[in-house]
Structure 1
């Protein structure tokens, strides 16, 4: 199932992308709920908190809504929100692709490198991203994002994917000059709208193996990153298990799993051209769609 959020006058609404268009879950639930066996989740967080029963109820709603054109919207007409609009935590993994470590001349990490972004960094597909006045070295990073679906603490690698709800594309935008001032990367990682997510949150049953997905980044149509999640040093199972040894993961938490080679920081100094006003960055991941944002002067 492909899920998204979009703006209406009453705020963000939950939508389901189908062959017929985007199902307005709120409108469909108001019309069809009486014939369903369980309540339909009204928001993405309700869906995440409700687990398998909530997902089954939503799928039943989608099935029954088919054929009623009034319940579907045309996706190009919508203003999307972040596909996960209220994550409790945004946890990121640094230096997690072998070829990215090589291009930056850094040793492979002995453990996953954890850092974080905050909710102010969230942005949607199609949303402009302001380039902060405090930096002139803004870089792109194509990343696979894991969205947690069940409370996870001290889980094994073997069971880790059981705690996943789904996946989405992300751009871990980074102000390299702010990032490198200290050993802690936060200043360069959590600038406003530096974590675009979307356009869709795709349930894990649609994806299969998350450790074998094509991933790419284009800037103004020019291919900059072109890799596969199979190049990750720590795969999705290892990442989830490791983080769960450090903290409790809750439904809706987002994990950005690292970026492949091809970022500006990895180029020789004379070839480093960082993002500027008007640049359009598109992150695309196999089966997850393409996430596009334009950079603008703050």
Structure 2
């Protein structure tokens, strides 16, 4: 399944892609219970398929199975044009043009990012590949919706791109064995760890340069684990305004997705909705000669096999008084 969080009619909802339609899972479940004559259809739907991603993920395998069942039932309904029109009026079905996509997980409990997880990226920055994973944190305010523009900060011209594979935790845990770590993953999505390099390098801590407002595009969807049998067998590419900047196989990571999850769970209890951004390969802007910083009018396009494409237009800060 390709799950998404979207905004429509002033509400934030949980959906699943179904061909050329988006299905509102909570409303679809309610419609199903109403059709069966349930007396508390709304409450049943809310308990089984809540309209937000994090509580949905907390529902575990039962919620995933319910989502698949509801999606299959809706696919049957789509064969009837009159039923399709009714479901669209009721807000169960949406055309992509009618919604605004949000980050698939809009407010992860934790955003755990990994630095220097590809050997050539470490070397292009003047470092040897690390012997242990290097983690740093982001905050939910730094996430940006797929397709939404990134606004260049007034305080720095050194804005860089970093395409990454991100794993979304489904079932939490502590001290997770590496052999079972991928069982704790709900699915995968694409992340662009846009970095303000001069702020990142002002101190030994990277936090401020990695947490500018709305600097982390995420999406376009959460692709469930069953559709990505091996996260180390994907191809990641990054194009900036049509020019290929980064390309790598995820199998060339120093530390695999499973290893990262097992390692960080030695210290932190992972929770449903946690995001693990697994690092970027070589080819970033700061390492080029001359450096290739993002500028007004650029479009960054991050593509990963099976996950799709995450596009982010780059715009200037047009607020009054912006330089």
Alpha-carbon distance between aligned partners in 1 of 2:315 and 2:103, rounded to the nearest angstrom: 18
Which of the pair has more CA radius of gyration? 2
Partner residue in 2 for 1:53: 62
CA distance in 2, matches of 1:33, 1:197: 33
Name the residue aligned to 2:15.
Answer: 15
Return the offset for 1:9.
2.5
**Aligned residues between the structures:** 296
Question: Within 2, Cα distance between the matches of 1:222 and 1:6?
Answer: 30
Task: After superposing the two structures, state which structure 1 stretch, 123-132 or 19-28, moved more.
Answer: 19-28
Match of 2:172 in 1: 151
Counterparts of 1:95-106 in structure 2 under 5 Å? 95-106=116-127
Structure 2 Cα separation of the partners of residues 33 and 177 of structure 1: 55
Structure 1 range deviating more: 284-293 or 19-28: 19-28
Gaps of 5+ in 2: 39-43, 79-83, 318-323
Among 257, 260, 268, the alignment partner of 2:281 is 260
Note the C-alpha offset of 1:238: 0.6
Q: Which moved more, 1:125-134 or 1:209-218?
A: 125-134
RMSD: 1.5
Q: How does 1:1-298 map to 2 (within 5 A)?
A: 1-34=1-34, 35=36, 39-66=48-75, 67-68=77-78, 69=84, 70=87, 71-268=92-289, 271-298=290-317
Specify the SS of the correspondent of 2:293. coil
Q: Name 2:321's counterpart in structure 1.
A: none
Structure 2 CA distance for partners of 1:33 and 1:20, relative to 1, 3 Å: farther
For the Cα contact (< 8 Å) 1:14–1:44, is it kept in 2?
Answer: yes
In the TM superposition, residue 20 of structure 1 has moved relative to its aligned partner by: 4.6
For 1:160 and 1:29, the matched residues in 2 are separated by: 31
1:41 and 1:58 in contact (8 A); partners too: no
Is the CA contact (8 Å cut-off) linking 2:166 and 2:278 kept in structure 1?
A: yes
Q: 1:155: Cα distance to partner? A: 0.9
Contact 2:109 2:274 in 1 (8 A): yes
2:141/2:213 contact within 8 Å kept: yes
Farther-moved stretch of structure 1 (191-200 vs 101-110): 101-110
Contact 1:40–1:61 under 8 Å retained in 2: no
TM-superposed CA distance for 1:266, in Å, is 1.7
Structure 1 segments unaligned to the other structure (5+ residues): none
Indicate if the aligned counterparts of 1:131 and 1:297 stay in contact, CA closer than 8 A: yes
Could you say what secondary structure the match of 1:178 adopts? helix
Shift of 1:18: 1.5
Residues 218-276 of structure 1: CA deviation (Å, up to 9, x unaligned): 111111111110110001011001100111110000010000111012213xx212011
SS of residue paired to 1:136: coil
Deviations 1:74-130 (A, max 9, x none): 224421111111200101000001121222231111110010111111111110111
